[in-house]
Every structure is written in C-alpha cells, then in structure tokens.
C-alpha cells in the first residue's frame, strides 16, 4: 500500500475577492465623479478598446470617495500579503498606489495585458450591467505556466488554462500584476464602470 507523505500546491497564483458592504451610495459618488472627469477629458489610450480610460492617478485626487477607495484598496493589499504568508512586515514596506477609471459602453472591452513593475493589481466594480447569458462583464485570467495544453486530457481544475469571473457592483478583486487578463466586450446597453489600480512595494526608508 502506497503511503502519501505530503501534498503541496507549488507555484499557485492567488486571486482574492472582497466586497464593500452598503456600497450603493458609495458607487453613486464614484460614478458621478467619473462622469465629471470624462466630460473634461478625452482620456488615455491603454488596453481599452472602444471605452474611456481616465488620465493620471485617481488616488491623487482629493475627492472623498476616491480617498475612501484608496484606503479600502490599501487594506485589501496588505490582507493579501497576509494570505500569501508574506514575511516582510508592513512597517518595512513603502507602498505606492496608482489607480484609473474605466468606462465601457456597449461593445467596449479591454485587450489582454499585464501590469509590469507592480506587485498587486486590482479592480473595483462601480457599475456592472446585469445580463442573462453570455460573457459580458467578465474578466478572464490566463494561466502563466507553459505546456498546459498537455494537461487538457485530465480535465483537472488546477490546470485549466483560463478562468473567468463576473464580479458585481461593490466587489473588488486582487491578483498578481504579472497575470495576463482581459475584459470581455460589454453586451449590455448600459455602461460598465470600474476602477483599476496597481500596488507597488519598495523598502521603507529607515
């Protein structure tokens, strides 16, 4: 009889999900600020296709709702550090946060990309139109490991090549910035609004 000594999961990629309770009023404030900014700026061209991407660092804004989201995102980042067993204490880290807002009208999407240079990346969902079927509103992550097609024959969940999620309004997802991801085209008549951010660590000055 074979005796199992240990079972480890090596090189796994963490994806964490959070929810902001009682988010309706908060999201309404974020949406109002987003529309105000879009009215005054054509936006930047990044991974967005057919949508609007805000310019500059949203977390530099002094607006209360953006400051609140910055605090929530910071809380999520350090909780994620704890979840993965990070040994560097919070006091030894200097954290830089950079955020931007995305608005995708019908047909708008975000092309596959990563966020080079950052540690954690995240998305907070402000407005997510409801749909009955299809991939609208879904974010898809691509497994960064090679040779995975050889594992398809086993149909093992831990070796799937892609993973799709459809977070709702008030949800935040967090993932390593090296992870390739993209957002499916919006199939609804209403716009989809989200705020993405990067978290980058440096050694804190002593």
CATH code linked to domain 16-203: 2.60.120.620
Domain borders along the chain are 16-203
Check: pTM over 0.85? Answer yes or no. yes
Interatomic CA distance for residues 39 and 41, integer angstroms: 6
Phi first, then psi, for residue 12 (nearest 5°) are -75, 155
Torsion of CA 115, 84, 81, 77, to 10 degrees: 50
Q: What is the pLDDT along the chain (206 residues), one digit of tens a residue?
A: 899 999 888 888 999 999 999 999 999 999 999 999 999 999 999 999 999 999 999 999 989 999 999 999 999 999 999 999 999 999 999 999 999 999 999 999 999 999 999 999 999 999 999 998 999 999 999 999 888 888 889 999 888 899 999 999 999 999 999 999 999 999 999 999 999 999 999 999 87
| pLDDT on residue 70 | 98
Nearest residue to 193 (alpha-carbon basis) of 137, 143, 152, 144: 137
């Amino acid at each position: 009889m074979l005796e199992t000594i240990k079972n480890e999961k090596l090189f796994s990629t963490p994806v964490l999900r959070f929810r902001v309770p009682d988010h309706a009023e908060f999201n309404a404030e974020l949406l109002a600020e987003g529309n105000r900014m879009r009215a005054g700026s054509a936006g930047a061209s990044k991974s967005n296709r057919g949508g609007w991407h805000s310019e500059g660092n949203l977390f530099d804004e002094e607006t209360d709702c953006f400051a609140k989201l910055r605090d929530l995102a910071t809380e999520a980042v350090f909780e994620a550090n704890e979840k993965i067993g990070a040994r560097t204490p919070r006091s030894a880290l200097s954290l830089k946060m950079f955020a931007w807002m995305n608005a995708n009208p019908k047909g708008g999407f975000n092309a596959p990309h990563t966020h080079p240079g950052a540690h954690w990346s995240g998305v907070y969902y402000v407005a997510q139109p409801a749909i009955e079927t299809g991939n609208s509103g879904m974010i898809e992550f691509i497994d960064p490991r090679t040779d995975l097609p050889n594992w398809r024959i086993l149909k093992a969940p831990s070796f799937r090549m892609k993973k799709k999620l459809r977070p709702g309004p008030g949800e935040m997802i967090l993932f390593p910035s090296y992870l390739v991801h993209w957002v499916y085209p919006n199939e609804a008549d209403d716009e989809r609004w989200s705020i993405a951010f990067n978290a980058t660590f440096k050694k804190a000055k002593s």
